Every structure is written in C-alpha cells, then in structure tokens.
Structure 1
C-alpha cells in the first residue's frame, strides 16, 4: 500500500474522475490524480501483482483510433523502457496498454518530489545546485542521444520537449537530489531508416522549442535538445525566460526563437556572478543556427566539468582568505587514509611480480577503494608526481563488466604506464568496488617495489569526475537488467581491444585536462576536503 499519497487533484473538482477506483489490465488499481497536462493525466496507482507497489499511470488525451497510432504508441513506450533501464536520470517505464475506451496509458515508476517548474517558482537555487541539475539532465540526454538497440541496430533518440515540467527532482534522504527526465513520448529517431515519424503536425512546448523544431523539420537532431537545454539553463540562472513575449501564440514564439537576440544573463540580473565560461556556454546553446551550438551533449558535459572546477576553486579562494594565520594545520581526509595505506604490507597470497589488483581497504575514515600495484623501483620513480588519470571502459549492452584503468603519464619522457583490472558486475565483489568508487569519488593507488616487496612505498590519490561517478551509479543500479550475450572471456577480450583503440585519445585528453584545469593533485585533494567538511 502507498503511505501518505500526494493530495488528490480530483478532490478539488466538482465532477468525479472516471478512473479513480478502477483497475487497468486487472492489475493497476487507480488511487488518485496527481498531475495533468496537455498530453494527459497522471495517476497514483497500486500494482497488485507486486504487492501493492506504488506506480504512476499516465493516461493520454487521445484514442488509439487506428493501427498506425497503436504502433507509434507501442514504439514510444519501447523507447522509454529502454532508456529508463540505461540511465538513472530517465524515468523508468514498466508497461503499457489501453483502457476500455481504447485510450492509451503507460505505467512508470512513482516519483516523490517536485518538477523543476514548481521549484523555480518557489525558490532560488544556488549555482552549485543548478550545475548539479544541469549535469544530471545532460547525463540523461547523453544516454538518449547515444541511442537504443532496435532489431540489431542503434538509433539515437532525441527528446523534443525539454522544459521545466519534464525535469523532476526526487526527494531523498541524501543531500543531493536525483534528477529524472520525464516524457520521452514525443521522441523520435534521428535517422530516416527507422521509417517512423510521429506526425507532420507541430508537437512541443512553444517557449522551449528550437527554431528548426518550429519550422516543422522532420529530421531534428540532438542540437534541437541542446537549444531547449540552453533556455532551461538561462531560466535557472537568471530567474527569467530569455524571451519575453506579448502573447503565447505560435507566431509570437516563432518570431522570438528565429529573430530575437537573447539578452546576456547580466542584463537580466546585474547581481549575478556567473563564471564567464558558463555564460558563454548558455549563449552558444541558444544560437539560432545549429552549426553555432555545441554539437553534442558530451561537449557540454566537458564544459560543465570545467565550470565546476572553477566554482570550487572560487570557493577555496574565499576560504583561504578567511583562514586565520595561525599554526593550525588543515589535513585533507585523503592524507589521513594515505598514511594508513603506507602501513600496509603486500599480501602473502599474492606473487612477487609486476601485477595489480583492486581492494576495498577498511580505514579509520571508512572503507576506501584502492588499487595495489607492484612494479620495479625505477619504474615507480618515473611516474611519481607526474600526470594521472582514470578511465572506465564498458560494453554493458553485451556484458556487465567494467575495465577500470589507471593512467600514469610522464610527459617529459613520453612514457605511459597502464594499470588495469576488470570489475565483473555479476560478482558481488566487483559490484561493491564499483559502488564504493561512485560513492567515495576517489581511490588510492598503492605502490610496492619488486626489489623490496614487503611494505607500501608510495601512495597517490586519484579522483573521478562527475560523469564517471554517474556511469558507475547507473551501472550498479541496473546490474540486474543487463543481459549476457557473450562469455566472460569474450567480454574481457572486447574491452581490452577497446582500451587499445582508445589509448591515444586517452593520453590526449589527459594532457588537455591538465593544461586546461591547471590544478595540481594537492589542490584537488584540498577541494575534496572542503567538499566533505563544508564551507560557507
């Protein structure tokens, strides 16, 4: 049974809702009306086949009057179901059907929280909160734009209706909210090969439509979603829509999206102190011409990661100004656990050889993911205080396994060392390590020398970026949904081959990140300390 359901919207109506109290498909008992919009109504229901589990049922405002519409509806639900399994930032869809009146409905996970429109109406969000929301929206869109598998082929999917009402923030015990993208019901395949289009008529929300969407172009691509995302970011940052129209007519919005130049964020709100890189990103997303916008969500995610580092650096600088000039020493939490690592000895059940393995280390500060590596002493010396990076390589669509790679790069000597291991998500140990990496956000690399193998000689700490933590979180959450189309041995061969293919680009990215960020490892650890212990 559902505890403390959302107050009914139907109770405020003079007429009774015909669905409340009825069963759909002899399984879903409709309990209450919890939302409504142009495309239909959303109800709180109980799935009696699963012990009364709370679900949400969306009943659309149209009839399945033809076989063609039925096929389109089934296709859209298939899209939503696949995307919801791939990303935690997309609402899960469980099933679909039609009422006795032949009205289509679909069943999705029941979310407790608020949509972004309601949140923006009632409160002002901090820059860090807006950034987190944007990163999660982008993670969901990136998953959709990567595509779904249909009849053995991959088809990218665009949303076409990104707006505040379709962004939902879950209320959780954790400090950070999980963001869910709703309603992929009007998404369409990018390629004409699918042979599937929704309709020749206009579908979308006028204030958030891209110029090419309003023109009725059938072959919209991911950059249409990027334009809508730009309006959403502008609205969150400035508190206002970039275009102030005199009416809500199609013609008025067509004029705005095609010919009006959006104001700068500072023009709308002179009190704003938004990083210049973020302001530039928003304006690029709002470009009238698709070629002038960011060309992919991945490009935006990279920019947002840089913006996050800039915001954190700004916070750290303010903290430094407030710190008293006293002999009090601030010790990052990782330095405490690093000291514990230096006391560790090489396991007796492991050979004295150039090998590496992952290990969950229990410390006074909690359980920390680590990677233990044994190398010759001279080789260790080559990479101390050099460039480090982390890569996570997976093909979850064929086998639930992660290749966890640590990159050691000495630019002066043009030398690179790759330390890697497999995390099998079918194995409890692999799941725990992946989950720990996602939750902790960093890991320790312990070096042991072959010449003197007993004690740990050096420790370095590597941090994961927001995207990597999101991927790990999604992989762990969906571990039971992945299918095995190949054997474990074959999966390892494929992931190793993928790693070889990516090596050159990994090095280029590592060097570029170091140059762009200009942030040393010590600075990163100090940021991590302030993240855990807080700072005004």
Structure 2
C-alpha cells in the first residue's frame, strides 16, 4: 500500500515502538523528508486511529528550519480545517529530547508525481484533479487568521510531489495539498518571514519567484498550477532540459514560451479552451495571468468532459470517450533519427566537429556532429553543457558557434567550435534555423567505433541568443564587409580566447550549485558578465 511518503529501507529508529506524549504509539517509519521524518502512529485517545507524525530532524534544528516548521504547523492547522483539499493537522508538541513534531491525517494513495510516472490521465481525471487543486489553493489564498487579521497565503512550492491523491474508504479520491513549510504570508507585518534567499523547486517556480521578488502574490501559485496542468495533459513538463542549474531554469521560465500541447505530444486531443487556460496561467507577466484562482475555476467548470469533434484542438477524433495521452516529445522523435545517422565518408576519422542541417520528419533540424574518444564522451555526456555564439557582425558576417562540455571533477573540458559564414548560403541557413528553433542536437561518434552515432544530446538556445542571431542575419544583409573572412576568423578567435576563462569560471559555479537553489543575483551577475 502506498502512503504519504515512500517508505525507506528498514533501519534502526529510536522512536518506533514508543509512546509519544502519552498518546501516539509509533508503529513504523513512513519516510524521510528534507526537514525530518514521517511516522505511522496510532492515536490511543481515538481508539487506535491511524495518524502520521512529522518530526523535525535533530541535525536541522536551526532558526530558519524551526521557523519553517512552525509556519507549516500554524498554516496547516487552520487551512486543513477549512478545506478538504489541504492535509489536516491535528496536534503538535515536542518530544522529551525537545524535538518538535506535529500530528496530521494519515493518507493512503500516491503523489501526483508517482502517478504521472506510470499512468496517463483521462480528460475527466485531469479536470477533476485540477478543480480540487484549485479549491485547495483558493482556500489558502483566502488566508489564515493571525492576531485578529486575515492574511492570504501563497504556497510557493506547488509541484507534483506536494499534490497527494488520497484513496478514501468510499472508493473515491481526494486531492490533498501538502507542505506549507515555505508558504508566505502576503504581508510583512505578520512577523513570520523567511530570509530572502531562494527557496523552491526550480522546474515549478514562477519567473518572479526566481527573481527573488519580495511581494509574491497568488499569481505565482497560478503559474505553478499551469505547469502541473500542462504536465498532466501532455505527460511532459513544458520546458525540456536535463540541467538542474538555477540559470538554465530561470532562462526557461522567464524567456521561453511554452510549446503547444501537440508540439510536445502529437496524440493530445483536448478542448481548445483547456489549452488556452493553461497558456493563460503560464503567462510570463503576472498581469497577463488569471488574477485569482476563482477565474481559473470558472473556466474549468465550462469545459466539457466529453467534448465533441468540433471542440477538440486536434484534427483527429479521439479513440475513446475518455481522452488519454501518451508522451511523444518532438525532440525525442528527432533524437531517434539522429541515432540512425552514420559518419560521412568524406569526413576523416579524427577528433573533429562540423554542423549539419539534418532532414527529419519534423523538418530541418540544426545538428552538431562531434567525434571524440569514447572515454571522453562517456565522462562528459551527463555533465555540464552550454552554448556560446561570438560575432563581430559589423566587421564581417560570421558567427563562431561553440559548444562547451565540462566536468569540474576531472577538470576535463571539450570546446567544440565552428565558424559559420553568413555570406555563405549554407552558413546562413544553419544560423537561421538555430534562431528559429531554439535548440539543436549534439551527435557523438566514438573515435574507436565511428560508424554510427552513439549518443545524442539536445541543447537549448536562450531567447537572448536566438534574437541576437536573427538580428545578425538581418544586419548582414545591410552591411558591406570591411575585412576578409580569414581576418574575421582571427578576430573571433581572439575574442574566443579572451572569454574562455570567464566561461569556465561560470560553469564551475553552476556545477557546484546544480542541486542547490542559487540566489537570483548570481544569475543577474552572469548576464552582466556575458
């Protein structure tokens, strides 16, 4: 049976088998969280009713964590009584060792994250989960009472792991919102604030949250809601990246527009109104989003669970009344086609790189082909990757395209570079496709067995880079070159050598902080430097 958290491996635990506060008999360890442990217990005063107990970890008792824990108790105790869609907190206290804990309802079922890993959801289920999630958020946004005043609450960490689908005894399911530990009061006068360092989950944060804005409001939660609805519908997060760095996620949330559902999954067939709602929630500017959860609920209530052909956003009719989705990301399709490629016979078997516009079922895709020793490929394939473009377009229409592969642990780096002459039709087409698509495939061919492509990585190009490439193509049509192509290459190489050290320094910092929430000012500093 699945519980509120995945049960960890059996281990020695001093609390199992003990009676807590002369009332709660600790039966088992349900799981470990970032702030503490969660136990299964029996409430003796309630005839052995099962409850869950969250206990703060000894080694995390500090001012900020204690404040988060206290905030979670205070908010959860009030909101859980008001909404069935927020996990209920019954009691709290401290152990004999002065460790704080609280008692909450025992949930049986799975988190939305667990469900999405193994299942596709029908349109009916997606709408049901979305509506219940909205009702829970609406309750939080209406606020809690403190010293006679009402303070709206922003959750700030809405993500699939914090949405629990509770299986009720009556063969029904209830959506429960978990973890108000980093929730924020919409006032600074409440006296309950955190430090302003970034706290949150990068894939599900709003742009303004990542920027460290002090006055986040309910529209930040609405953005996170839009990301979750997108993922439920398509089976995939709207932004494709393997990076866990703050800088990468900030660029995606702030600048990259979410794709259409069918771009991520061609099989998706849902009412156009639902897609419009999700895109509304995902607007970059808070003023362009729904201004309240009520506005989202009003649209959800008008969406037909069993839409007719004319109300679908796809040309093909659904196979059944219950619309199911199957993940087929567009980049996955073209990545498979890349793996079928063979090394050109007119290229030497040597550590070289070259660009190529690859014809695929999705059209022409810019690719970068690299032959390297297999050991290097395997060491670098899952490490830091980044893309840079260097140009001096007013001197000559040429772009130096650089892909950097970097592993700080072994101090190994590979700089794959190629000069794209925009005066040349082939070079201009590649630059134009890079600007239009915003990504490219990096194909790896092992030096020891070069016949077929062994690995493929998809790398994103930032909105700023895309705009710059597009501007340079337009500018190249209006200017006359003042230097030769060879002089242009020498000029770009000199600039390349000048920025190498800065790029390595940046990548080192990003790799160190891959699993941490970097402060927004670091990302802004990088923008100034590069």
Q: Return closer, same or farther for 1:244/1:19 CA change in 2, 3 Å cut-off.
A: farther
What is the alpha-carbon distance in structure 2 between the residues aligned to residue 299 and residue 265 of structure 1?
Answer: 22
Indicate the residue corresponding to 1:247 in structure 2. Answer: 243
Structure 2 unmatched ranges of 5 or more: 313-319, 321-530
Q: Is the 8 A contact 1:155 1:190 kept in 2?
A: yes
Indicate the residue corresponding to 1:435 in structure 2. Answer: none
Report the alpha carbon displacement of residue 67 of structure 1 after superposing the two structures with TM: 7.1
Q: Return closer, same or farther for 1:287/1:313 CA change in 2, 3 Å cut-off.
A: closer
Indicate the residue corresponding to 1:188 in structure 2. Answer: 184
Q: Return closer, same or farther for 1:290/1:279 CA change in 2, 3 Å cut-off.
A: same
Report the alpha carbon displacement of residue 8 of structure 1 after superposing the two structures with TM: 10
Indicate the residue corresponding to 2:25 in structure 1. Answer: 29
Q: How does 1:86-165 map to 2 (within 5 A)?
A: 86-165=82-161
Q: Is the 8 A contact 1:63 1:102 kept in 2?
A: no
Q: Return closer, same or farther for 1:120/1:69 CA change in 2, 3 Å cut-off.
A: closer
Q: Is the 8 A contact 1:84 1:92 kept in 2?
A: yes
Q: How does 1:516-531 map to 2 (within 5 A)?
A: none
What is the alpha-carbon distance in structure 1 between the residues aligned to residue 192 and residue 8 of structure 2?
Answer: 40
Report the alpha carbon displacement of residue 174 of structure 1 after superposing the two structures with TM: 4.2
What is the alpha-carbon distance in structure 1 between the residues aligned to residue 91 and residue 73 of structure 2?
Answer: 8
What is the alpha-carbon distance in structure 2 between the residues aligned to residue 103 and residue 315 of structure 1?
Answer: 59
Q: What SS does the corresponding residue of 1:97 show, helix, strand or coil?
A: strand
Name which of 290, 305, 309 aligns with 1:311.
305
Q: Does 1:12 pair with 2:9?
A: yes
Q: Is the 8 A contact 1:90 1:140 kept in 2?
A: yes
What is the alpha-carbon distance in structure 1 between the residues aligned to residue 168 and residue 238 of structure 2?
Answer: 31
What is the alpha-carbon distance in structure 2 between the residues aligned to residue 175 and residue 43 of structure 1?
Answer: 25
Q: Is the 8 A contact 1:161 1:205 kept in 2?
A: yes
Q: Return closer, same or farther for 1:7/1:197 CA change in 2, 3 Å cut-off.
A: closer
What is the alpha-carbon distance in structure 2 between the residues aligned to residue 214 and residue 28 of structure 1?
Answer: 40
Q: Return closer, same or farther for 1:118/1:26 CA change in 2, 3 Å cut-off.
A: same
Report the alpha carbon displacement of residue 98 of structure 1 after superposing the two structures with TM: 3.0
Indicate the residue corresponding to 2:287 in structure 1. Answer: 291
TM-score under structure 2 length normalisation: 0.55
Q: What SS does the corresponding residue of 2:135 show, helix, strand or coil?
A: helix
Q: Return closer, same or farther for 1:193/1:281 CA change in 2, 3 Å cut-off.
A: same
Q: How does 1:163-178 map to 2 (within 5 A)?
A: 163-174=159-170, 176-178=172-174
| Residue-by-residue CA offset, 1:384-421 (whole Å, 9 max, x unaligned) | xxxxxxxxxxxxxxxxxxxxxxxxxxxxxxxxxxxxxx
What is the alpha-carbon distance in structure 2 between the residues aligned to residue 152 and residue 28 of structure 1?
Answer: 32
Report the alpha carbon displacement of residue 246 of structure 1 after superposing the two structures with TM: 2.5
Q: Does 1:237 pair with 2:269?
A: no
Q: What SS does the corresponding residue of 1:55 show, helix, strand or coil?
A: strand
Q: How does 1:245-284 map to 2 (within 5 A)?
A: 245-284=241-280
Q: What SS does the corresponding residue of 1:192 show, helix, strand or coil?
A: coil
Structure 1 unmatched ranges of 5 or more: 323-536
| Residue-by-residue CA offset, 1:236-281 (whole Å, 9 max, x unaligned) | 0000011111221222222221222211111101111111111011
Q: How does 1:252-401 map to 2 (within 5 A)?
A: 252-307=248-303, 310-312=304-306, 314=308
- Indicate the larger mover: 243-252 or 136-145: 243-252
Indicate the residue corresponding to 2:212 in structure 1. Answer: 216
Q: Return closer, same or farther for 1:253/1:19 CA change in 2, 3 Å cut-off.
A: farther
Indicate the residue corresponding to 1:205 in structure 2. Answer: 201
Report the alpha carbon displacement of residue 129 of structure 1 after superposing the two structures with TM: 0.6
Report the alpha carbon displacement of residue 195 of structure 1 after superposing the two structures with TM: 2.8
What is the alpha-carbon distance in structure 2 between the residues aligned to residue 191 and residue 6 of structure 1?
Answer: 35
Q: How does 1:419-458 map to 2 (within 5 A)?
A: none
Q: Return closer, same or farther for 1:313/1:174 CA change in 2, 3 Å cut-off.
A: farther
What is the alpha-carbon distance in structure 2 between the residues aligned to residue 62 and residue 201 of structure 1?
Answer: 23
TM-score under structure 1 length normalisation: 0.54
Q: Is the 8 A contact 1:116 1:168 kept in 2?
A: yes
Number of equivalent positions: 314
Report the alpha carbon displacement of residue 112 of structure 1 after superposing the two structures with TM: 1.1
What is the alpha-carbon distance in structure 2 between the residues aligned to residue 146 and residue 41 of structure 1?
Answer: 30
Q: Is the 8 A contact 2:4 2:111 kept in 1?
A: no
Report the alpha carbon displacement of residue 160 of structure 1 after superposing the two structures with TM: 0.9
CA RMSD across the alignment = 2.9
| Residue-by-residue CA offset, 1:312-334 (whole Å, 9 max, x unaligned) | 4539999xxx9xxxxxxxxxxxx
Q: Return closer, same or farther for 1:212/1:11 CA change in 2, 3 Å cut-off.
A: closer
